[in-house]
Amino acid sequence: MVVEFSKKFIKSLQKVVSQAEAKRLVRKLSSTSPSDGDFVTMVSGIVIREKRLKTFRFYFIFENAKKHVVSLDELKDLIIQFVALSKKNNQQHVIDKLKDDLSRFGFRM
């Protein structure tokens, strides 16, 4: 399983925490599995989940079809992508933006 971080996610993180704290959070988030965090929504087979650490909410996506793996080789192909972060006060705005971005790439609710 591969955990990736979008460039936009890293830039957003570096704006709100120190560089050392950002590295620590990225290390902690690198051990994320598809069942971590809370389910937010699914857009055409792409699952959006939210993982809370401290005062932040971190949003990651993955393909739902790949969540149910049957072998180690298939597990290695699973990619989890962290794409956004928010605080409680802008949580719904960030979720709506993620859904809108996915729909612009051709994924439908």
As a 3-state breakdown, the chain gives helix, strand, coil percent values, each rounded to 5, of 45, 30, 25
In whole angstroms, what is the distance from residue 28 CA to residue 32 CA?
A: 8
Spatial distance between the Cα atoms of 107 and 47, rounded to a whole number of angstroms: 11
Bridge-based pairing of strands 56-63 and 2-5 is unpaired
Evaluate if residue 108 carries a pLDDT over 80. no
Distance CA(84)–CA(5), nearest Å, equals 9
Residue 25: pLDDT over 90: yes
* Residue 44: how many other CB atoms lie within 10 Å: 13
Q: Give the three-class secondary structure for 97.
A: helix
| Average pLDDT of span 27-39 | 92
pLDDT at 44 over 90: no
| Domain annotation for the chain: domains and CATH numbers | 2-104 (3.30.2310.20)
Span 63-84, average pLDDT: 75
Q: Is the pLDDT of residue 104 over 90?
A: no
Average confidence score pLDDT of the chain: 88
